[in-house]
Structure 1
């Protein structure tokens, strides 16, 4: 429940002053006044920093300590004058108002934190799928509740400019602009599988592999993680168009499909509009308070309609045709700038045939991988069938239905490294190499079709 040692110090300070007066047998009015001041300070901290702040907790705790020392140093005469002033009607009204508006809400928030920590109450998890008649749709939840994302009028959401991301909204070091001479920059676009955990995502592992075993002696490689959790190919394309002329990559790697297939409870991604900024601001504020989340959890159970099987036609965030059109725009924009691009299928734990039997939008995920393989093969574009590769590997590499444990991310990085930089296929995708024969240049990177 306490998020830092300083919060424990603050809690001890809030309770310690009145207890010390009680032990010294001070008058009841002195104990009440000092106790109210302590409670007010604690309430201001709890309501002002619901996410916790060691610095703010330290300031509040030290401030209360200085207040107690000042109260003791003031002497009986000064204390008596303060107590007399506190009995005035205006002061009494201010005390009553602050108690109702600050101390009582903070007390409820503190109680909710304690009861949920003890598992006596349950609370709504802000980033969970918002469903309507069995349709998963987490776009609004991501925009309004994900502390690592911020609303964006074009992209719908983007990573924050703070840990684990940098000021440019990527993971890793700040990219130099313009790009340093002699640097080969690889930008990896994708969804949560590319974004990965705070540490250990596959682009970072690919960067280490290229640092340890550079494909060209003396070449400096830079791998940029441009993945964003929850992104569809529609959002990824728009972010790529924002980035490409500024960061000037030498190679693009793109992997989408899982979120494209997700069932949309409202408009598709191309037509979706986020809530207005006042609504977003209010919702992003409310989800920081445990009281709000407790109320949401129990009220949701009263008003939410029971989950039903998926009804009506499949209505994805991005249709298969739009998905291929987005990838083709990726390819066209990269080609006009002379940038090679490689596409990855989106891996998942269940086999395609098994997934197709699932009675929700996940049954359509294999359609997106299949469309990518067919399109890239027909157009002679390099791709890596990651799904086919991991279908031959242990299921224990997956942490859930579509993400990896660290070993899985390492294997994916090695797979990309091997296909692009060790298997001889780099001649078809990397600039500066001798052109490959036509039959090789049009062959998929993994050399097989699924």
Structure 2
């Protein structure tokens, strides 16, 4: 009996070793071959479902050199690779080297590309400069990430609350939330298997498998029917519906309060001079509706809401395209936020 038991244990260990050896060998070979460009792996910038969808999630998840794949966030910054520092904060050329101890309360800033900012500056960086110039030694951590929706912002906030102590949490989303989804809204978007998702997100072998399986399916003409999601057709669905969008802001508000901090919600500024906003068939024309939903949510709470859309609506000179500030726009936005914080004694 003891002999059989030892044999069973031995065979089990041999099986486990064989599986692990095979997995590590495949992963090592995949990385060696893809690093030398002898094999390709899943890079949806080149192979996403339909270029007309404008679903940027695949691009940033798999094919943006500043980001690495993440099971929950889809993509996250690579630390210590410009424009991100060793904690994943967005930096700029005007970055202020000011850092407080981990236990000191901070201003945590979440948003999309307009929050991450330009290589030259960002409104979060300008806010830090204003605070220091007024002898207010609070660190501003710019957690803005290009392409992020409110869902991703809340997910990153949840992770950050395990590490950082916030004094104020600033939330600025509403562009990527409206952008079209090629398959599922963000809370239901699963680019990796549910079981072992974190491992699959890091696996080059998995990426190779996905790339060549998709290539095979395309060669067999197995693909979804072409759809132009830049038009508000009956098949259009945003990355976040208005209800989901508002729900994320509510969760952010509650989480922030639970951690003894003050939430500050911003409407999403944009350039109405852009012709896309005058076209009711373009998804961008729905951005104002999302801002209106925020106004309704915050109508009785002026202290925790700054209406950037209302301020910049007739000032297209502060944006260089449909939704991004020029450097002066970042400075003006920071000044507005700073004055609001002083007025309502949030600092």
Q: Could you say which TM-score interval applies, normalised by the shorter chain?
A: 0.7 to 0.9
Pairs within 5 Å for 1:96-107? none
- Structure of higher CA gyration radius: 1
1:370 is aligned to 2:292: yes
SS at match of 2:156: helix
Instruction: After TM superposition, give the deviation of residue 145 of structure 1 in Å.
Output: 0.2
Q: Check conservation: 1:261, 1:361, Cα contact below 8 A.
A: yes
Q: 1:411 to 1:228 in 2, by over 3 A?
A: same
Query: What is the number of equivalent residue pairs in this alignment?
Result: 289
Whole-Å Cα distance in 2 between the matches of residues 247 and 324 of structure 1? 25
1:183-238 CA deviation, whole Å, 9 max, x = no partner? x5211111111111234111111101111123xxxx41211101011111111001
Q: Check conservation: 2:130, 2:338, Cα contact below 8 A.
A: yes
Instruction: After TM superposition, give the deviation of residue 388 of structure 1 in Å.
Output: 1.2
In the alignment, structure 1 segments of 5+ residues that lack a partner are 1-46, 51-100, 106-124, 286-298, 431-450
Whole-Å Cα distance in 1 between the matches of residues 139 and 226 of structure 2? 49
Whole-Å Cα distance in 1 between the matches of residues 66 and 325 of structure 2? 20
Pairs within 5 Å for 1:19-418? 130=48, 132=50, 134-164=52-82, 165-172=84-91, 178-180=102-104, 184-214=105-135, 219-275=136-192, 277=200, 281=204, 308=228, 309-350=231-272, 355=277, 357-378=279-300, 382-393=304-315, 395-418=316-339
If the length of structure 1 is used for normalisation, what is the TM-score?
0.57
SS at match of 2:324: coil
SS at match of 1:220: coil
Q: Check conservation: 1:144, 1:283, Cα contact below 8 A.
A: no
Whole-Å Cα distance in 2 between the matches of residues 269 and 130 of structure 1? 16
Which structure is higher in RCO with an 8 Å CA cutoff and minimum separation 6? Answer: 2
SS at match of 2:60: helix
Whole-Å Cα distance in 1 between the matches of residues 137 and 201 of structure 2? 46
Q: Check conservation: 2:73, 2:156, Cα contact below 8 A.
A: yes
Instruction: After TM superposition, give the deviation of residue 129 of structure 1 in Å.
Output: 10
Q: Check conservation: 2:262, 2:304, Cα contact below 8 A.
A: no
Which of the pair is proportionally richer in helix?
1
Whole-Å Cα distance in 2 between the matches of residues 347 and 235 of structure 1? 19
SS at match of 2:325: coil
Q: 1:208 to 1:170 in 2, by over 3 A?
A: same
Q: Check conservation: 2:100, 2:139, Cα contact below 8 A.
A: no
Q: Check conservation: 2:154, 2:252, Cα contact below 8 A.
A: yes
Whole-Å Cα distance in 1 between the matches of residues 106 and 239 of structure 2? 31
Instruction: After TM superposition, give the deviation of residue 245 of structure 1 in Å.
Output: 3.6
Instruction: After TM superposition, give the deviation of residue 351 of structure 1 in Å.
Output: 6.0
Whole-Å Cα distance in 2 between the matches of residues 426 and 378 of structure 1? 14
Whole-Å Cα distance in 1 between the matches of residues 46 and 70 of structure 2? 20
1:241-276 CA deviation, whole Å, 9 max, x = no partner? 111242101111110010111110101100111246
Question: Once superposed, what is the RMSD of the aligned Cα atoms?
Answer: 3.5
In the alignment, structure 2 segments of 5+ residues that lack a partner are 1-33, 92-96, 194-199, 209-218
Q: Check conservation: 2:233, 2:281, Cα contact below 8 A.
A: no
Alignment match, 2:197 = none
Whole-Å Cα distance in 1 between the matches of residues 55 and 63 of structure 2? 14
Whole-Å Cα distance in 2 between the matches of residues 278 and 346 of structure 1? 31
SS at match of 1:157: strand
1:303-355 CA deviation, whole Å, 9 max, x = no partner? 99877454324311111011111101111111122211111111111169972
If the length of structure 2 is used for normalisation, what is the TM-score?
0.72
